[in-house]
Amino acid sequence: MIKCDILIIGSGIAAMQLARNLSADLHVIIITKGKWQNSNSFMAQGGVAAAVSSDDSWELHFKDTIEAGENFHNDSEVMKLVQIAPEMIKNLQNTGVRFDCYKNGNLSLGKEGAHSRNRILHCGGDATGKHIMEQFHLNLPQNVELIEGQFVYELLLDQNKNRCIGVKTRDRKGEKHIYRAGGTVLAAGGIGGLYPFTSNDHTIAGDGLALAYKAGVKITDAEFIQFHPTLLYVNGCTHGLISEAVRGEGAILVNDQGEPIMQGVHPLKDLAPRHIVAEQIFKERLAGRDVFLDISMIADFPDKFPTITDSCLKNGIDIEAGKIPVAPGSHFFMGGIKIDPHGRSSLEGLYSIGESACSGVHGANRLASNSLLEGLVYGKRLAEYLNHNRKECESAHKLSPISYQDIVIPVLPEKAVIQQKMMENAGIIREGRKLKTFIQWIESYGVLEIIKSDLDALPIQQIETIFMLISAHIIAVSSLSREESRGGHIRADFPNSRKEWESRHIINSIHGMEIGGENNESYQIEIHA
């Protein structure tokens, strides 16, 4: 058994920001499923949104965020996020991060969907995440231990079963490890791998969501999933993201007849909010038409977008031809573990930040390039909270006795089958009848009983499949319950948003479902210290 003060699950920007801001006298361990680079943060092409130009303001950034997320936010948290954004940029620069600038030394600010100003700071053209994460990794404090290649499959609870005191993991050889911690932080990313097409790293498949749910933690807003409109699409498969910054430079979406597909759909056309663009591409493809990103008007494309250019070349796409084949894919999870403004979950001793968490800053649809910003802000905020609340992380708690139900695990479906069914039933466009059938299919594998069972004896691959089914069930049930269309949740049988649902949040746990009240109130967590 290994003991530490703070245990962080995940190695993305929120996890690294937290680790580097914790007090130097705390023993901190980061555990990651793959390599430390296996995070969506490392892959982030776009950049960090912040109102740093003379013609911009936090008020405009706030307005754009609220409009993109269809007025479904914790407004006070959004306000704090956009107000502190310029400070986060200065902090990164002081850390050694060098944002792209023009020859005159001024910051090169890009524009992405639903932004009213150029406010996206980027590094290396389209390699922002890589630059920031490498700088963070290079400067990790000496009190932080990084452990790669261990899969967390259970949260440990104390004898009263109301506090998280650590985790169980399996390494690449299948050997079990136990970690005891004063505070455990889930920063394990989103749910992209639940779908066949995704911009996410191959290790991201909803593990954090399933872990928390199995331990009785509250999950909220799970129906809201953002599908990025433009993933490189070749021979029936997707091969990474084509950043929205490309459309910010003037590229437009066209079908195989050369017709612009966003004309007349939205006033912002190709820079409309992501769920609107993704839905339009989905409809074109459903009608049998291929969709391309016309980049012919962008001068020096390889210099501006080296990562995308390299990806296109590797997959046989001729950049000089001026068209990149694209398809939408799962990109970002607006829902997640329900947290308060400090990052505390509904389970004592368990915290969550980044894409694993739902803080209310993204509403029903995330504004482009607000995700890295969220990781920076909440990582630093949680560090400050833990630094000043040491007693909350005391680890003198006894383990809960094992009291799992004995259960026979059935033959489980292949991961590819789960992914395809997720896309068909809980993908870009949903419908009540299909969601009900899908939920029944998941439950036919005994997922509701498996949640209560001991997974110790199972191989990693089987646990991963179980976690996929748990996460899929949470999303499908939430999607069925929200009888409207809003942001990343589109119901064919309820095509319009409904005023009465504007302040309702669907909250799931193994103890049942509840509907939260007003937006700001729904994110407040009652902690029993």
Residue 349, both tokens: 């001793």
pTM: 0.93
Tens-place pLDDT, residues 121-142: 999 988 999 999 999 999 999 9
Tens-place pLDDT, residues 143-175: 999 999 999 999 999 988 899 999 999 998 999
Asked whether 383 and 81 are in contact (CB, 8 A), the reply is: no
| Residue that terminates a domain, selected from 330, 357, 392 | 330
What CATH number does the domain containing 277 carry? 3.90.700.10
Whether residue 212 lies inside any domain: the answer is no
Whether residue 91 lies inside any domain: the answer is no
| Residue that terminates a domain, selected from 273, 304, 330 | 330
Asked whether 88 and 381 are in contact (CB, 8 A), the reply is: no
Alpha helices in 230-290 (DSSP H): 245-248, 274-286
- Per the prediction, the chain carries an average pLDDT of 93
Asked whether 397 and 158 are in contact (CB, 8 A), the reply is: yes
- pLDDT top residue among 526 and 31: 31
Please state, in angstroms and as integers, the Cα–Cα distance from residue 259 to each residue in 8, 202, 253, following that order: 48, 34, 8
Whether residue 188 lies inside any domain: the answer is no
pLDDT band at residue 526 using 50, 70 and 90 as cut-offs: very low
Whether residue 175 lies inside any domain: the answer is no
Instruction: Quote the pLDDT of residue 397.
Output: 61
Residues 323 and 411 in one domain: no
Ramachandran angles phi, psi of 24, nearest 5°: -65, -20
Question: Percentage of residues in the chain with pLDDT exceeding 90?
Answer: 87
Tens-place pLDDT, residues 189-211: 999 999 999 999 999 999 999 99
Whether residue 206 lies inside any domain: the answer is no
274 is catalytic: yes
Instruction: Quote the pLDDT of residue 409.
Output: 82
Range of the domain at 482: 406-519
Integer Cα distance of 233 and 325 in angstroms = 5
Tens-place pLDDT, residues 13-70: 999 999 999 999 999 999 999 999 999 999 998 899 999 999 999 999 999 999 999 9
Total count of domains within the chain: 2
Please state, in angstroms and as integers, the Cα–Cα distance from residue 22 to each residue in 7, 17, 140, 189, 245, following that order: 12, 9, 11, 20, 33
Residue 322, both tokens: 């001026």
Asked whether 281 and 292 are in contact (CB, 8 A), the reply is: no
Whether residue 244 lies inside any domain: the answer is yes
- pLDDT top residue among 481 and 456: 481
Whether residue 428 lies inside any domain: the answer is yes
Instruction: Quote the pLDDT of residue 7.
Output: 98
Choose, from 20, 119, 274, 504, the residue flagged as catalytic.
274
SS (H, E, C) 108-147: CEECCCCCCCCCEECCCCCCHHHHHHHHHHHCCCCCEEEE
Tens-place pLDDT, residues 260-290: 999 999 999 999 988 899 999 999 999 999 9
- pLDDT top residue among 94 and 519: 94
| Residue that terminates a domain, selected from 281, 296, 330 | 330
Residues 414 and 500 in one domain: yes
What CATH number does the domain containing 415 carry? 1.20.58.100
Whether residue 73 lies inside any domain: the answer is no
Answer yes or no: is pLDDT of 441 > 50: yes
